[in-house]
Structure 1
Amino acid sequence: MAVPQQRAAKQAAKQAAKRAWGVRAAWLALALLAALYCGWRFAAASPLETNLLALLPATEADPVAEKAVDTLAGALGDRTVLLVTSRDDAHAKAAAKQLGASLQKSGAFASVTAELPPFDLSQIAALYLPYRFGLLAPADRSALASASATTLHDLLARRIYSPLQGGLSTQLADDPFGWLERWLGNLPLATSNLEVEDSLLVSHRHDAQGDTTSVLIVATLPGSAYETKTQQAVRAALADAQSSLRQTFPDVSLARTGAVFYAEAARSASEREVHIIGIASLCGIALLMTWVFRSPRLLLLGFVSTALGIVCALAATLLVFGKLHLLTLVFGASLIGEAVDYSIQYFVVYLGAGRDWEARRGARTVRPALSVALATSLLGYAILIWVPFPALKQIACFAMVGITTAFASVLSLLPALLTRAPKRSPQRVFAGAARLLARWQQALGGKRAWLVAALLLIAAVPGWLRLTSDDDVHLLIQRDASLVAQEDTVRAAVGVDNSAQFFVVRGATQEAVLQRAEALGAKLDALNGTADSVGGYQSVAQFVPSAQRQHDDRALLAQHAFHDPAALRATLLQAGFKDEVADAWLAAFAKPAAPLTVERWLAAPWSQPYRHLWLGAVGSDRANPAHAPAGYAAVVIPQGVTPRNEPALIALAHGLPGIVFVDKAASVSKLFGAYRVDTGWWLGGALALVCALLMLRYGARGGIATTLPVLLALGVALAVFGYAGVPLNLFNWLALMLVLGVGANYAVFLREGCSRADANLGAVWTGVLLSAATALLSFGMLGISAMPALRSFGTTLALGIAVAVLLAPIGMPSESRRAA
C-alpha cells in the first residue's frame, strides 16, 4: 500500500511542479510582453503628454467653441518669443542679432526671426487696392454722410500737402482723398509698444533706473512643443546661446516665453517627482517589510507582484489612450503602496502558518479578503472613469489594471513561487501586535464603538460647518514661477495681453459671420471710454469687411462723392491732377469690382500671423443639429479682459445672435464646481453600495460595523479641512472616493481574519498596519507634489487612510460573536 501511495504522492508533486512552472512561464511571458510594448512606445516619440490643456475636458456646449480653443492653442503653441533687454541701446540690438544667429545655427528651430526680412509694405496696400471703393474708415464714413463739395476739396488739399506718411501709405493717383490709406491705418497689424529700428522689433521703456531697450526675437518650432525631442533640443540650444551671450554682453538680460518652455518644465518636474516618490516609497516599503518579515525573499516577491501590476497598468494605459499624462505618471509611482497590500496579506498568512504551510491552501485562505478589498478599491477608482477629465480617466485605468494584476499575481504567481514553508516566523512581532490589537479593540469595539462614533461626530460637526470650496482651475494647474515672471516681462515690453478669453462668431455663410463680427466690433468700440473698455481687439472683419459693408461704403461714395463725376473731375484737375490720372481713377470707380473675400485675404502671405482668426467651415453637431447648424465661424479676441469688464462682454455676446463668449478657465472652474457637488452624491451612493456589499458578506450588523470605520474616516477628513480653513476642490472629493475604496480594506482584512479559526490575529493586524503604512508612504508622498491637483489628492488620501486604519478594529466582531 505504501508504494502506490508514494507513487501517487510523487505524481502529484510532479504535476504541482509542472503546474507551477506553467504559471511562472505565463506570468513571465505577460511581463515581457508588457515591458517590450512599453519600451517600444518610449523608444519612439515619447508618449508622455506634457500639454496641461490635455488635463482639461471639453467644456463648451458649442463644439465649435471647443475647436476655437484648440485652434488658438495650436496657433500659439509652436511660437517661442525671446526678449533681449539692456540699458545700452546698441548692446541690446547687437545681442539680439547674436542670439538670433546662434539659435538659427543650432537647428533646434524651424525659423528664427531677429532681423526682419525685407518686406515691402506696399504688398498689403496692393491686396486692398482693387477693392478700395468699398473700404472706408469709420471716421470717413461719418464724414461722408454730411460731405459737401467744399469738404471734398479741403480733404483733397490736406491729402496733397500733408507730409509723406510712413507705413501703410498709398499712391496719390490711386487714392487721391486718402480713404484707403486711412482704412489701412486701422488694421490691427502690430502693437503700439513695438517699433521697427535697424530691421529689429524694438520696445523702449522708462523706469526709475532709466531707459531700457528691449528687442523681440520670434522663433518657430520644427515639431510639437510637447515632444520631448523638441524640448531637449530647444533647451540645449538656448543654454549654449545664453552662455555665449553672457560672456559677450554681461549687461544684457534674456526673458523667454512659449508653450515649449512650460511643457519642458512640467515634464522635468513630473519626472523628478516620479523619481522622488517612487524611490522614497520603494525604500520606505522595503525597510518596513524587511523589519517585519526579516526575509529578503519575501521582499523581492512582494516587489515582483507590484512591478507586474505597474508594468501591465502602464502598457494598458498606453494601449487604450495612446498617451500618458503627467498626472498619471506621478500617480503611478504612488500605486506601489496599494499594489503591495495584497502581497503583504499573503505573506502574513504564510508566516503565520509556519511548518503547516501549503501554498494553494494559503491562496484560498486570503482569497475572500482580497476579493472584497479588490471590489471596494475598484469601485472607488471606477467613479473616476465617469468624470470627463482625460487625466482622471487615465488614472482610473492605470490603477484598476494595476491592482487587478497585483491581485491576480498574488493568488496565482506567489503560490507558484512560495512553495516551501518559512524557516522562521516573526512571532514576537505578531504577539506584540496581538496585544496592541486586543487593547485597541477593547477601547473601540463593542458598545463603545457607537460612543466613539458619537464623540467623533460631535467633534466633526463644527469643522463641517466651516467647510468652503474653491474650484478655480488656476489653483490646480501650477506653472513654473520663473517662466510666469519672464512671460510677464515679455508682455509688458510688447504691450499685448494674450487673453485666453475670446468670442466665437458663427453663421450659416461667410457673409453672415463677417456681418456678425462687424456688429460685435461696433459694440466693443462703443465700450471705449467706459469702465468696461477692453482697449482693442482683433477680428477677421477688420481685415475683410462683409460684402454688405463694402456695398454700403461704395454706395456712400456714389451718393456723396461720385454723384457728379464732372464736378469731381474738375476738383481733381484744379488740384493739379493730370487728365489721364483723373479719368483712370473715375473709370476705376465706374467699373464695379467683386467684393474682397476671406479666401483672397487668406491667400496673401502676410496674413499668416492672423489666420487663426478665421476658423472656416465647421460641421454640424450631430447630437443637436438645431443648436449647431453647419456653417462658418471666426474668433474675435479682445485685449485687456479683466474680472471687472468680463460680465459686460458676456452680456454683449448674449445680446447678439450667433456669438458666444469663451473663457476656458472659467468654464473648467464651473465644471469643477458642478462635478465637486456631483462627487459628493456619488460618494454617498458608493458608501451605500459598499455597505450593501459588506452586509451581503457579513450580515446586516457585521456589514454596518465594517463600514463604520471608513465612514468615520471620511467625516473626520472633511472636518480637518474645515478646521484648517482649507477650501475643498474636486480632487479632494475624488480622493475621498479612494479613501472609501482603500480604507474599507483594513476593516475587511480584520473581519476576515476573525472569521478564520486558525488565523493569527496578531499576524493579521501586523499585515493591516503594514498595508496602511505602505499606502501612507506612497499616497502621502503625493502631498509634496508640485502639482496642486496631486497635492490635494495626496493629503486627502493620507488623512483618510490614517483615520481608517486607526478605527478599523471597530469592524471586528466581539469575542462572543467570534466564538459563535
Structure 2
Amino acid sequence: MDLLAQQRFVWRRWGIRAAWLMIALAAALFCVWRFAGPAPLQTNLLALLPETEADPVAEKAVDTLAAALGERTVLVVTSRDAGHAKTAAADLAATLTASGAFRSVTAKLPPFDLSQIGGLYLPYRFNLLTPADRAVLTDGSVALHDALARRLYNPLRGGLATPLADDPFGWLEHWLAVLPLATSNLDVEDGLLVAHRGDATSVLVVATLPGSAYETQVEQAVLGAVSRGEAQLRTQFPDVSLARTGAVFYAQAARSAAERDVHLIAAVSVCGIALLMLWVFRSPRLLVLGFVSTALGIVCALAATLLVFGKLHLVTLVFGASLIGEAVDYSIQYFVVYLGASRAQRVRWNPWRGARAVRPALTVALTTSLLGYAILACVPFPALRQIACFAIVGICAAFASVLTLLPALLPHAPKRDSRRLFDAAARLLERWHRWLGGRRAWLVAALLCAVSVPGWLRLSGDDDIHLLVQRDATLAAQEQVIRAAIGVENTAQFFVVRGATPELVLQRAEALGAALDGLGGTQSVDGWQSVTSFVPSVQRQADDRALLAQHVFGDPAGLRATLVAAGFRDTVADAWLDAYRQSANAGPLTLDHWLAAPWSTPFRHLWLGATDTVPPGYAALVIPRRVNDTNRPLLERTAHTLPGVVLVDKAASVSKLFGAYRLDSMLWLAGALALVLMLSMFRYGLSGGVAVVLPVLLAMGVTLAVFGYARIPLNLFNCLALMLVLGVGSNYAVFLREGCLRDGADLGAVWTGVLLSAATTLLSFGMLGASSMPALHSFGVTLALGIAVSVLLAPIGMSTHSRSTA
C-alpha cells in the first residue's frame, strides 16, 4: 500500500471514529438532559392499554375516572379496640401531614353545615319529588291531611331535615334523604369516618397527592411518609393494622419490579455474553468492541424513543435490556470473518473488505428482523410501538456500527489463530448437516410435523387483560381489605350517556336509571350513581311541578285550610303558598347551579360536560354499584336498547381486543413468512429460499406444539413473539447460507458465530421469561423455544455442496 493510500486509510479510520463519537455523545447528552428534568420513565400501567372504545367520549370517561382515582390515596386503620383505631388514625394523619408528601390529609372531618345542601335545593323544592312521593301523589293512596300528619308527628328526622314552614309535607326532606351522599359502609363517629365489621373497627384516612401518582419524586415522598407512619403505628399500637391503596403504590411497585427485571436481565446478559465471547474469541479487545457496538445501539435507541414518544415505559426499558443479545449478533458475525481469515488473507487484510464480505448476510438478517419489529409497530398498543421503535433504531445503529466503526477499530489482521476451535465446529457442522441436509430435511420436517400435530390440536387461547397488567399481589390484597371494610363502589364498569344537549343527556340518564332499578335478583346492580340523582332533567322537574299543581295546589283555599287545621299559623301557610307561586319565576334547577356548589366536588366526575366530537354534544356517567358476569350481558342489552347509552368495560374491551389481534397476528405472521420466503427466493433461488425459511417455519410449529402439550394457553404476546422468532431465528440459516456463497469462507468459523449468536440471544431474550411482567414473560418463553429450535435446524438452509474451507 503506497503512502497516499495509507494516509487516506488513516483519515478514513479517524473520520469514522470521530463521527460515531459525535453520534454517541449527542445521543447520550440528550438522554442525560431528559433524565435530568422530570423523570421520563412512565409507570402508569394504563398507558400500556390501547384506546379500545370506538366512541372517543367513552375513552375520555376512562381517563377522567383514572385521573380522579389516581389523585387519591386511601388508608384504613383497623383494630379490635375502637379507641386504639381512632387514635392511631388521627396520629397517622398527623404524621402524613407533617411529612409534606401530600397536598391534603383527611382523617377528622372538618365541620360542615348540612344546611348548605338543603339551601341549594330549597328554591326549587316544588320541582323535586322522589319516586315514592311521585307514586303516592299519582295514585292518591294517601290523603294530604294524612301525609301532613305523618310529617308532623314523625319522631325520626335525618341529618338533612328541613324546617316545617319551608317543607310542611316533607317532600324536599325526602328528596334530600335519597341523595347518594354516602355511598359506603362508613359512619361518622367523633368526627372520623368509621366502619364496624364484626368485632373490628376500621377508620378511614384519605390523602390527596401533590402531583401525578406516576412521578418519581411523588412516589418516593409518599412511600417514605407512609412507611414512617406505619413504623410509628407498629411501635405505639401493636394491635393496629394498616391497609393502603392508591395508584401511587401500584406505580411504585411496578417501577421496583421493572428495575429488578432490568438489573437481572442486564446483569445475566452482559456477564453471560462476556464469558461466552471470551471463551470463543479469547480476546478482551473483541469483547470490548462488541459491547461498544451494542452500547451504541442501545443509547441511540434510548434517545430515539425519548425523542419520538417523550416518555419511556417500564416495559420498553425491560425489553431494551434484552436487546443486548440481538445487537451483539452483528459484531459476532464480523468477528468470525475477522478471525476466520486464512493466512493468505491475513497478509493482505483489509478491514473494509471484511465488512463487505459479511454485509450481505447482515443485510438479509437485518431485513428479516426489521420486518418482525415493523409488524409490532403496527399494533395499536403504546408499549409495543415503543418496543418496536427502540428495537428498530437499536439494531439499525448496531448494524451500521459493525459495518463502519468496527473496521475502523480493527485495522490490522488478527495475531491469534482460532483454527482448532473452528475446525472442531466444522466437523460438528458437517455431521449435523449430514443428518439434516438434502432430502433428509423433508423427512425431518415430516417427523416434526407428525409429532407436533397433537400439540396443535390442544392449543387454546387466553386473552385476559392481566396478561399485560398484573398488579402487585400484596397491594391487591390490601385493596380487597379496604373494599370489604368501607364498601368502595365499582369504578371498573360504567355507562356513558351522550346527547346533543345537557337536557337530552339528563333525560337519557334518567331512562337508564329507571331501567337499572327494574333489574332484580341476581341481575340487580344494587344501586347506581348518576348526576341525575342530584340534578333532574328540566322535563322531570316540569312533570313533578305539574303533578303538584294538579294534586296539591289545584285548590289553594282547601290546601290552606288543611295547613291551618293541622296547626300551621296563617302567616306560615300563606308564605308557603306564596313561595310556590313565586318559584315559577325561578326556573328549574340547572347543572350550573349544582356544579357551583362546593359540596358537589366529590361527584363532579359524573358530568363529563361538552365533548370534542362532530357534531358537538354532552356526556355524563352512570356508575352501577355491582357488575359481574351474571348481569353484564343484560346490562349490555339494556345499553343497546337506549339511545345514546354505551356500557364501558375497559378490562373486557382490552381482553376482546387481545383476542381479535391474537387471531389477526397469525394472519400477519403468515404474511410476514411469505415476505421472508420471497426475499430468500430472490436471494437464493427457489430451492435455496425454501431451504432457508424451512428451519424457522419448523421452529415456530414446534414452539406452538410445546405450548399445546404443556396446556399453556396462547395469548397475543406469544403470537407477536413468533414474529420475532421469524425475524431473528431465520438469521441463523441465512448466516450459514451466506457462508456457503462467500469465497474462501470458513464454515467452521461461520457455524461458531451462529452458535455464539444464538447463545447470546437466548441469554438476553430468554431472560425475559424470568420477568415479573406477564407480557414480557410470554415474549421470553416463546422466543427462547423458537430460537433454540431455529438454530438446531439452521443447517437445513445450507447448500448441499457446501464444505469447510481453510
Q: Give per-residue Cα distances to partners, 1:737-783, cap 9 Å, x unaligned.
A: 00000000000000011111211111100000000000000011000
State the partner residue of 1:551: 542
2:534 paired with 1:576: no
2:138 paired with 1:152: no
State the partner residue of 1:564: 555
**3-state SS in 1 of match to 2:521:** coil
Aligned counterparts of 1:815 and 1:551: Cα–Cα separation in 2: 92
Q: Give the conservation status (yes or no) of the 8 Å contact 2:531–2:606.
A: yes
Alignment of 1:242-261 (within 5 A): 242-261=230-249
State the partner residue of 2:110: 117
For 1:533, give the aligned amino acid: S
Q: Give per-residue Cα distances to partners, 1:655-706, cap 9 Å, x unaligned.
A: 1011001111111111111111111011011101101001111111111111
State the partner residue of 1:161: 153
Q: Give the conservation status (yes or no) of the 8 Å contact 1:153–1:571.
A: yes
State the partner residue of 2:180: 188
Shift of 1:195: 0.1
Q: Single out whichever of 673-682 and 491-500 deviates more from structure 2.
A: 491-500
State the partner residue of 2:759: 773
Q: Give the conservation status (yes or no) of the 8 Å contact 2:183–2:489.
A: no
State the partner residue of 1:297: 285
Aligned counterparts of 1:71 and 1:748: Cα–Cα separation in 2: 51
2:600 paired with 1:612: no
Judged with a 3 Å threshold, the aligned counterparts in structure 2 of structure 1 residues 784 and 763 are, in CA distance, closer, same or farther, namely same
State the partner residue of 1:684: 670
State the partner residue of 2:631: 645
State the partner residue of 2:660: 674
State the partner residue of 2:363: 371
Shift of 1:815: 2.3
Q: Give per-residue Cα distances to partners, 1:414-464, cap 9 Å, x unaligned.
A: 001011221213222111111110100001001111110111111111111
Aligned counterparts of 1:544 and 1:769: Cα–Cα separation in 2: 71
Shift of 1:619: 2.3
Q: Give the conservation status (yes or no) of the 8 Å contact 1:301–1:414.
A: yes
Q: Give per-residue Cα distances to partners, 1:335-382, cap 9 Å, x unaligned.
A: 000000000000011111153432111101100000000000000100
State the partner residue of 1:177: 169
Q: Give per-residue Cα distances to partners, 1:494-531, cap 9 Å, x unaligned.
A: 1124231100000110000000000000011111x322
Aligned counterparts of 2:490 and 2:119: Cα–Cα separation in 1: 30
**Normalised by the size of structure 2, how large is the TM-score?**
0.98
2:12 paired with 1:24: no
Q: Give per-residue Cα distances to partners, 1:220-279, cap 9 Å, x unaligned.
A: 100001111110010011111111111111110000011111011001110111011011
Aligned counterparts of 2:503 and 2:158: Cα–Cα separation in 1: 33
**3-state SS in 1 of match to 2:139:** coil
Shift of 1:40: 0.9
2:405 paired with 1:413: yes
Aligned counterparts of 2:637 and 2:178: Cα–Cα separation in 1: 26
Alignment of 1:392-471 (within 5 A): 392-471=384-463
Q: Give per-residue Cα distances to partners, 1:467-504, cap 9 Å, x unaligned.
A: 10011112331100000000000000111242311000
For 1:98, give the aligned amino acid: D
2:649 to 663, 684, 698: 663
Q: Give the conservation status (yes or no) of the 8 Å contact 1:191–1:494.
A: no
State the partner residue of 1:288: 276
State the partner residue of 1:350: 338
For 2:202, give the aligned amino acid: S
State the partner residue of 1:89: 82
Q: Give the conservation status (yes or no) of the 8 Å contact 1:385–1:393.
A: yes
Runs of at least 5 residues in structure 1 that lack an aligned partner in the other structure: 1-7, 622-628
Shift of 1:191: 2.6
Aligned counterparts of 1:90 and 1:107: Cα–Cα separation in 2: 27
2:313 to 325, 340, 348: 325
State the partner residue of 1:509: 501
Alignment of 1:300-319 (within 5 A): 300-319=288-307
Aligned counterparts of 2:709 and 2:321: Cα–Cα separation in 1: 31
2:214 to 226, 241, 248: 226
Aligned counterparts of 1:56 and 1:671: Cα–Cα separation in 2: 10
For 1:303, give the aligned amino acid: F
**3-state SS in 2 of match to 1:531:** helix
Q: Give the conservation status (yes or no) of the 8 Å contact 2:746–2:804.
A: no
State the partner residue of 2:749: 763
2:381 to 373, 376, 389: 389
Runs of at least 5 residues in structure 2 that lack an aligned partner in the other structure: none
Shift of 1:162: 1.4
Aligned counterparts of 1:447 and 1:299: Cα–Cα separation in 2: 40
Aligned counterparts of 2:692 and 2:525: Cα–Cα separation in 1: 59
2:687 paired with 1:701: yes
Shift of 1:48: 1.0
Q: Give per-residue Cα distances to partners, 1:70-107, cap 9 Å, x unaligned.
A: 11111111010000000000000000000001101111
Q: Give per-residue Cα distances to partners, 1:788-807, cap 9 Å, x unaligned.
A: 00000110001000000000
For 2:484, give the aligned amino acid: A
Q: Give the conservation status (yes or no) of the 8 Å contact 2:745–2:804.
A: no
Q: Give per-residue Cα distances to partners, 1:84-137, cap 9 Å, x unaligned.
A: 000000000000000001101111001000100010111111111111011101
Q: Give per-residue Cα distances to partners, 1:715-756, cap 9 Å, x unaligned.
A: 111111111111001100100000000000000000011111
Q: Give the conservation status (yes or no) of the 8 Å contact 1:270–1:326.
A: yes
Q: Give the conservation status (yes or no) of the 8 Å contact 1:471–1:673.
A: yes
2:589 paired with 1:596: yes
Aligned counterparts of 1:425 and 1:59: Cα–Cα separation in 2: 59
Aligned counterparts of 2:403 and 2:423: Cα–Cα separation in 1: 27
Q: Give per-residue Cα distances to partners, 1:610-659, cap 9 Å, x unaligned.
A: 111000001224xxxxxxx3210001000110101100100110110110
Q: Give the conservation status (yes or no) of the 8 Å contact 2:493–2:649.
A: yes
Q: Give the conservation status (yes or no) of the 8 Å contact 2:57–2:611.
A: yes
For 1:585, give the aligned amino acid: W
**3-state SS in 1 of match to 2:2:** helix
**Normalised by the size of structure 1, how large is the TM-score?**
0.96
2:522 to 519, 531, 534: 531
Aligned counterparts of 2:131 and 2:710: Cα–Cα separation in 1: 58
Shift of 1:156: 1.2
State the partner residue of 1:34: 27
Shift of 1:818: 9.9
1:273 to 244, 261, 264: 261
State the partner residue of 2:101: 108
Fraction of identical pairs, as percent: 73
Q: Single out whichever of 188-197 and 477-486 deviates more from structure 2.
A: 188-197
Q: Give the conservation status (yes or no) of the 8 Å contact 1:499–1:640.
A: no
Q: Single out whichever of 417-426 and 98-107 deviates more from structure 2.
A: 417-426
Aligned counterparts of 2:308 and 2:31: Cα–Cα separation in 1: 13
State the partner residue of 1:11: 4
**3-state SS in 2 of match to 1:335:** helix
Q: Give the conservation status (yes or no) of the 8 Å contact 1:499–1:641.
A: no
What's the C-alpha RMSD, in Å, of the aligned pairs?
A: 1.2
2:198 paired with 1:215: no
2:626 paired with 1:635: no
Aligned counterparts of 1:175 and 1:676: Cα–Cα separation in 2: 62
Shift of 1:577: 1.6
